Amino acid sequence: MDKLVIEGNVPLRGRLRVSGSKNAALPILLACILAEGPVRLRNVPKLKDIATTLQLLRMLGCGAEQNGEIVVTCVGQNLIPEAPYDLVRTMRASVLCLGPLLARLGKAVVALPGGCAIGSRPVDLHLRGLERMGATFELEAGNIIGRCKRLKGAHIHFDFPTVGGTENLLMAASLAEGETILENAAREPEVTNLADFLNACGAKIQGQGTSIIRVQGVDRLNGAEFGVMPDRIEAGTYLVAAVITDGELYLENCSMADLDAVVYKLREMGVWLQEGKSGVLVKRGTNLVGVDVMTQPFPGFPTDMQAQIMALMGLADGSGTIKETIFENRFMHVQELVRMGARIKVSGQNAVVRGVDQYIGAPVMASDLRASASLVLAGLAAKGSTEVLRIYHLDRGYEELEAKLSQVGARIRRVAQ
Ligand code: EPZ
């Protein structure tokens, strides 16, 4: 397992290009199952999870090639509606093939995703919604076996604005008979990007980005050309990298519009940001102060930026609080930050962060994608050397991380172990 070795306390300066969004590309790639013609996708990041999704598409009988752009072709009679456990367990988002397979083939055998480091991650809201549309499910040896005739449009109200659940139901509803209304739908920009892609293929979706999405089912979807949106969480991570190292970065290909809550909190801390034509300029500004953060569904503060802002808050004046309301176990970065000198106390879903003057480099263990990112951020600011172990977590979601950071002055290298 590789590790990253970081010599910290170096201000990052320069320009970085934000890659395409992992969390938009994953559902869009699986939505290709619905299209009867070839799909050509631009700005898909080169990540482990993308490679896993392409492997899943091939296992399902689709053609999937990545040379710069990605071309996916899913011919109906070649499709095999089975997503095996040994693949699903490596990437929970595989469950997003359920809706497309049921809509296109009327059958799906998908391993029930287990839990993961950050929580139990059930998919009950996905299944309940699909049942409302006429699907039936059995659980056999850990596999969800779904069957349906043609799915029927339904009025669905989510108990929680689930991102994956909204995406699965959007894809299913696109080919269903009649109208589907999704209430309390997720409003994340990645959901909007998926809906815009489906409409480019001929779907009839309205209301994406709001809590009520209406879908008029159609008989077929065609291939299309489409560009994946920039990765707002990668962008947010690099905003923090500039500030935590007391540097100055210009992030290209990113918009603050999708990061309003993060930008608001960073400015509240004393960070200076300015949006340009095609990017964002960011630097520390005045001395940083601790603030109160509560993660919420979009447009609230994103849970995927919680670990990163905690690393920054750990070096601010005074103290701040962080409440994690989305996942039940998303504080595993805390004890690793404490190993680097952070003063953080966790009680249930709440963390109190008391700022310290400096982190001291140390060997630390990555546990999930965004926790790993927060340890890298702390290492970039720390005095001395930090080793971040088990960085396969990072490779799932950050394209060319060490190359991008080195390009703006970080002293960071990957060491194979
Ligand atoms: C997506 O996960 C993202 N993953 C996550 O990003 C992100 O943290 C999350 O949305 C919240 O924004 C992808 O897009 C691939 P949810 P997802 O369904 O779809 C509960 C990252 O770091 N829930 O909105 O799984 C669930 O347990 C990853 O890039 C149910 O109870 O998120 C959780 O507590 C991590 N039943 C909450 O809702 C369900 O059927 C949020 O889940 C579905 C969800």
Q: What is the pLDDT of residues 15-42, one digit of tens each?
A: 999 999 999 999 999 999 999 999 999 9
Mean per-residue pLDDT, 258-262: 95
Q: Is residue 256's pLDDT more than 90?
A: no
Q: Which residue has the higher pLDDT, 130 or 119?
A: 130
Q: Read off the amino acid at residue 286.
A: T
Catalytic entry in 62, 116, 148, 201: 116
Share of the chain above pLDDT 70, in %: 99
Q: Read off the amino acid at residue 241.
A: A
Q: Is residue 114's pLDDT more than 90?
A: no
Q: Which two tokens stand for residue 207?
A: 């209301």
Residue 204: CB atoms within 10 A of its CB come to: 14
Q: What is the pLDDT of residues 264-282, one digit of tens each?
A: 999 999 999 999 888 999 9
Q: Is residue 254's pLDDT more than 90?
A: no
Instruction: Please name the residue whose Cα sits nearest to atom 39 of ligand 1.
Output: 123
- In which band, very low, low, confident or very high, does the pLDDT at 250 lie, cut at 50, 70 and 90? very high
Domain 22-227 fold is UDP-n-acetylglucosamine1-carboxyvinyl-transferase; Chain (3.65.10)
Count CA atoms closer than 13 A to 355's CA, side-chain side. 17
3 Cβ inside 6 Å of ligand 1? no
- 287 secondary structure, DSSP code: -
Ligand 1: centre distance to CA 361 (Å): 32
Q: Is residue 116's pLDDT more than 80?
A: no
Mean per-residue pLDDT, 96-103: 96
Instruction: Please name the residue whose Cα sits nearest to atom 32 of ligand 1.
Output: 163
Ligand 1: centre distance to CA 223 (Å): 28
Q: Read off the amino acid at residue 199.
A: N
Cβ atoms of 111 and 121 closer than 8 Å: no
Instruction: Please name the residue whose Cα sits nearest to atom 9 of ligand 1.
Output: 163
Rounded CA gap, 37 and 398, in Å? 30
Ligand 1: centre distance to CA 118 (Å): 10
Helices 306-313 and 369-381 cross at an angle (nearest 10°) of: 20
Share of the chain above pLDDT 90, in %: 85
Q: Is residue 121's pLDDT more than 80?
A: no
Q: What is the pLDDT of residues 349-404, one digit of tens each?
A: 999 999 999 999 999 999 999 999 999 999 999 999 999 999 999 999 999 999 99
> What pLDDT, on a 0 to 100 scale, did the predictor assign at position 285?
83
Query: Does residue 116 have an active-site annotation?
Result: yes
Q: Which residue has the higher pLDDT, 68 or 63?
A: 63
Cβ atoms of 269 and 250 closer than 8 Å: no
Q: CB burial class (10 A; 0-12, 13-18, 19+) of residue 416?
A: exposed
124 Cβ inside 6 Å of ligand 1? yes
Phi-psi group of 285: left, alpha or beta (phi > 0 → left; psi -120 to 50 → alpha; rest → beta): left
Q: Which of 47, 160, 182, 369 to mutate to test the pocket of ligand 1 (most atoms within 8 A of CB)?
A: 160
Instruction: Please name the residue whose Cα sits nearest to atom 17 of ligand 1.
Output: 164
**Domain 2-19+230-416 part of CATH 3.40.930.10:** no
> What pLDDT, on a 0 to 100 scale, did the predictor assign at position 87?
84
Q: Read off the amino acid at residue 382.
A: A
> What pLDDT, on a 0 to 100 scale, did the predictor assign at position 83?
87
Query: CATH topology of 2-19+230-416 equal to that of 22-227?
Result: yes
Give me the helices (H) in 185-330, please: 189-200, 232-244, 260-269, 306-313
> What pLDDT, on a 0 to 100 scale, did the predictor assign at position 115?
67
Count CA atoms closer than 13 A to 276's CA, side-chain side. 11
- Residue-range domain boundaries for the chain: 2-19+230-416, 22-227
- 133 secondary structure, DSSP code: T
Where do we find the tokens 């209406």?
214
